[in-house]
Structure 1
Amino acid sequence: MVNDFISRSSFYLTTLSIKFIPIPDSDLIDLLGRLPSLQHLTVVDSNITSPRPITSLLVQSLHAIPRTSSVTVFSVLVKRLQSLSLTSCSDGGFCDQDFVDMVSSRWFLDGYRSPSDPMNSNGGMACLRSVVMRFTKRVVDEEVYRPLKYLEQEGMRVVVVGQSS
């Protein structure tokens, strides 16, 4: 229903907040594919039993480098994304390293961009400036998330908190 509305409309949605709505990750990914102007995304799946939108599949789909399979090339979702906030109650089934890789793939310093860089063609890829990851039912493995500290030192706002943080 939402996808039909978006397909018929010609609006530019820059901010999307999905809180406490049981939506499958595949449906959210499909929705994000229809929102190329999106700059700010917030998803909260706390207190949801099933389905949960925050999964490794969602995180992988937000990676800046398109995935390929033997038959399909996937395009980059939400190329203009500048801020991402996720709050998850999942205590398993989420790959922290995928999250770190995705965030890292969406960071680059403005001074390092070049007009010949393919990531800047066709409207370009926005640099992710703020990322918040909250886990309500598990602790954070500080070692896995250490690379994000370097991005924070370079200017990205990075907040990763867990149950005991």
Structure 2
Amino acid sequence: MFSVFTFPSLGELIICSEDGSTPNLIWPLDAFSAFISRLACTLTMLSLSSVTVFDLDLIADLNLLPSLINFSIDGLLNPEGGSPITSRFLSSLTLHDSGSPLLPKLRFLSIKLHGASFDDVAFVRMVSSRWLPDPACAAVIGMDCLRSVVLHFEERGVDENTYTPLYDLDRKGMQVVITGNGANGIKT
């Protein structure tokens, strides 16, 4: 599909598997990259659901979308098992002293995980690094402030202590929703 179409006014893109219940759509790295390079518009929203993709391929393609404001992930799988939402992926979204992170305009992030393995600390670090409530400071850095983050665990609960820094950001103005399906699942 990506090798055939060009959409001159595309602003939002939703990609999901055919039936939506199983991750059977294999990420077409080269075709997607070529598709993005042909776009004559600014893609501001991307939603991926039930897609199988390596973390490095996801990072490579997101590098082509610096104007993305809203990014939604639901049930992505790594072809080798597990999730592509790895420590490396989260680090690529984290603001480091060495340079600008992936998706500098990102304001809204939603992640729904179907596995139990996840680097909670790297996620908290990433979200915290993108809290830039001072517009002047954000402009100097060349980034937008992350305003909303939703994280849902389908197969595990939430460690409330690990996410305390994000609950603090919620009180300061960022919308933070962390939920899980477990004995200790909470909603903030």
Task: Answer 1 or 2: higher relative contact order, Cα 8 Å, separation at least 6.
Answer: 1
Amino acid at match of 2:90: V
TM-score calculated relative to the size of structure 1: 0.83
After the TM superposition, which residues 126-137 of structure 1 pair with which residues of structure 2 at under 5 Å, given as runs?
A: 126-137=144-155
Counterpart position of 1:62: 93
Counterpart position of 2:165: 147
Task: Give the whole-Å Cα distance in 1 for the aligned partners of 2:110 and 2:97.
Answer: 21
Counterpart position of 1:22: 52
Q: Would you say 1:89 and 2:107 are equivalent positions? A: no
Q: Would you say 1:102 and 2:120 are equivalent positions? A: no
Q: Does the 8 Å contact 1:56/1:98 carry over to 2?
A: yes
TM-score calculated relative to the size of structure 2: 0.74
Counterpart position of 1:71: none
Amino-acid identity (%): 40
Q: Would you say 1:44 and 2:113 are equivalent positions? A: no
Amino acid at match of 1:61: S
Task: Give the whole-Å Cα distance in 1 for the aligned partners of 2:93 and 2:78.
Answer: 23
Count of residue pairs the alignment pairs up: 151
Task: Give the whole-Å Cα distance in 2 for the aligned partners of 1:44 and 1:38.
Answer: 17
Extract unaligned runs of 5+ from structure 2.
1-30
1:4 Cα offset (Å): 1.2
Counterpart position of 1:120: 139
1:127 Cα offset (Å): 0.3
Q: Does the 8 Å contact 1:66/1:76 carry over to 2?
A: no
Task: Give the whole-Å Cα distance in 1 for the aligned partners of 2:128 and 2:57.
Answer: 25
